[in-house]
Amino acid sequence: MRFDVFTLLPAVFPPYLESSILQRARQRGLIDVYLHNIRDWTHDRHHVTDDEPYAGGGGMVMKAEPIFEAVESVLGAPPACLLILLTPQGRVFDQRAAQELARHERLGLICGRYEGVDERIREHLVSDEISIGDYVLTGGELPALILIDALTRLIPGVLGDPDGAADDSHATGLLEYPHYTRPPEFRGWRVPDILLSGDHAKIAKWRREQSLLRTLERRPDLLAAASLLNADLKFLEEHGFKR
């Protein structure tokens, strides 16, 4: 999968892209991330990328011309792939959106800064707008990295375990069950006996129930959309869940 990132701060990306799983995915050719500095598409002496808003109001606005030029010279006109603007006004990113976007071969990502971008970029250039949550950051760079990270780990072969992403919190519509590793006892706190029992059917049932309980306690809002079996519903109802 190829990502083309349009940003005023390309330098913030490499430290993360060159670490751990993303680094390995890049080295193995499973992802490619191309960073494009929007400032390279300005033509004035001071390489200005922002300007005051028409009719006043606070802050500065990112100009349309350098962003259009950058995108069109890299992705063509119209852009040859889905082009996403990272903005707190976009649809909220979640695991389902990650799964859907991970099916694309190539994505363009525009990172906004300042108060926002000239509205003509939304209206006539991008195909999608994504927010990573209901809070406002100083720019779209961290959101772009979050999106790249969430999509990359869904690409087959990226995680060591082929089923690595299948049980993740949210992948099933539920929060994931608790994990433990050695030692079996730490400061008097024991790992649940069932996990040491070697009984795979019982362990699977325990994990499913823990997953259901956790979701019921912490994120009951998720249960409405989760795919639940009759046995799941029965278990949840025994623990106070009402349909």
Contacts with ligand ADE by CB under 6 A lie at 86-88, 112, 131-133, 135-137, 139-140, 143
Q: Which is nearer to ligand ADE, 48 or 92 (CB)?
A: 92
Looking at 50, 69, 72, 115, which residue is catalytic? 115
Instruction: State in angstroms the smallest separation of the CB of 175 from ligand ADE.
Output: 22
Instruction: State in angstroms the smallest separation of the CB of 10 from ligand ADE.
Output: 17
115 tagged catalytic: yes
Instruction: State in angstroms the smallest separation of the CB of 129 from ligand ADE.
Output: 9
Looking at 88, 141, 143, 232, which residue is catalytic? 88
168 tagged catalytic: yes
237 tagged catalytic: no
Q: Which is nearer to ligand ADE, 66 or 143 (CB)?
A: 143
88 tagged catalytic: yes
Instruction: State in angstroms the smallest separation of the CB of 147 from ligand ADE.
Output: 9
Q: Which is nearer to ligand ADE, 107 or 228 (CB)?
A: 107
Quick check: 125 and 63 in contact, CB under 8 A?
Answer: no
Q: Which is nearer to ligand ADE, 141 or 232 (CB)?
A: 141
Give residue for tokens 């680094």: 23
Looking at 50, 128, 149, 168, which residue is catalytic? 168
Looking at 153, 207, 214, 219, which residue is catalytic? 153
Query: Which positions are annotated as active-site residues?
Result: 88, 115, 153, 168
